[in-house]
Amino acid sequence: MSKKILVVDDEARMRKLVNDFLTKSGYEVVEAADGEKAMEVFFASNDFAMVVLDVMMPKMDGWEVLKQIREYSTVPIIMLTAKSEEKDELLGFKLGVDEYISKPFSPKILVARIEAILKRNNNFEEVVEIGGITIDKTAHMVRIDGKDIELSYKEFELLSYFVANKGVALSRERILNSVWNYDYFGDARTIDTHVKKIRSKMGEKGEYIKTIWGMGYKFDV
């Protein structure tokens, strides 16, 4: 599994701080000082395990970098933001952000979040088949009746979590804690938005994700 992380921030001090902590934790770090450089580096390599991306940058901001990466890749992306406005966070989740960290932040928390995301992604059984759905973790692909469907990284994680907990009634709080990490202060709308997208992409099989009113969801075939 790749331990290479792209850190994109226009502040040299911030890049150094993140780089130092990640390097100490055994990661290989590649830095970019603006969005244009980030795109150049990302597409030249294509073996990053994670992208840590600042929102406010010259030349090309974090939103634009996120959109362009998401056209080609489901690599997990953590966004660093000085604004913790709800509308910005909701826009980010729509575009395919996996985690948010507001500045100023503890580098230890950032490392913990990165490790949690990579660990969850790594622990899931390699290939799972259930009710005409095949989840291939290595290829990060989902097939329904033999046909590939495109899911974002977070949608893939959420569907994988549902399948791993087949038949279990899952509260929204438990889903947030497990899929969005222990210290993500989100709300139920984040989950509902992702479930809605997954269901629409799954077609008839979307019915396997059942709503439990007033509580959460349950995956049942």
Q: What is the pLDDT of residues 122-176, one digit of tens each?
A: 655 578 888 999 998 767 789 999 899 999 888 998 999 999 888 999 998 888 8
Please name the residue that has the structure tokens 């979307």.
206
Please give the share of the chain, as a percent, with pLDDT higher than 70.
Answer: 90
Residue 12's pLDDT is: 94
Query: pLDDT for 21-49, tens place per residue?
Result: 999 999 999 999 999 999 999 988 778 88
Residue 208 has pLDDT above 90, yes or no: yes
Query: pLDDT for 168-205, tens place per residue?
Result: 999 988 888 788 764 555 667 888 999 999 999 999 99
| Average predicted confidence (pLDDT) for the chain | 86
DSSP-derived secondary structure for 23-76 = HHTT-EEEEESSHHHHHHHHHHH---SEEEEESS-SSS-HHHHHHHHHHH----
Residue 207's pLDDT is: 95
Residue 184's pLDDT is: 54
Fold of 4-121: Rossmann fold (3.40.50)
Residue 136's pLDDT is: 84
Reply yes or no on domain 151-219 having CATH 1.10.10.10: yes
Residue 10 has pLDDT above 70, yes or no: yes
Q: Are 126 and 115 in contact (CB under 8 A)?
A: no
Please name the residue that has the structure tokens 């993140």.
18
DSSP-derived secondary structure for the chain = ---EEEEE-S-HHHHHHHHHHHHHTT-EEEEESSHHHHHHHHHHH---SEEEEESS-SSS-HHHHHHHHHHH----EEEEES---HHHHHHHHHHT--EEEESS--HHHHHHHHHHHHHHHHHS-SEEEETTEEEETTTTEEEETTEEE---HHHHHHHHHHHHTTT--EEHHHHHHHHS-TT----HHHHHHHHHHHHHHHGGGGGGEEEETTTEEEE--
Question: For the residues 103-125, what does the mean pLDDT come to?
Answer: 79
Domain ranges of the chain: 4-121, 151-219
Domain pair 4-121 / 151-219, same fold: no
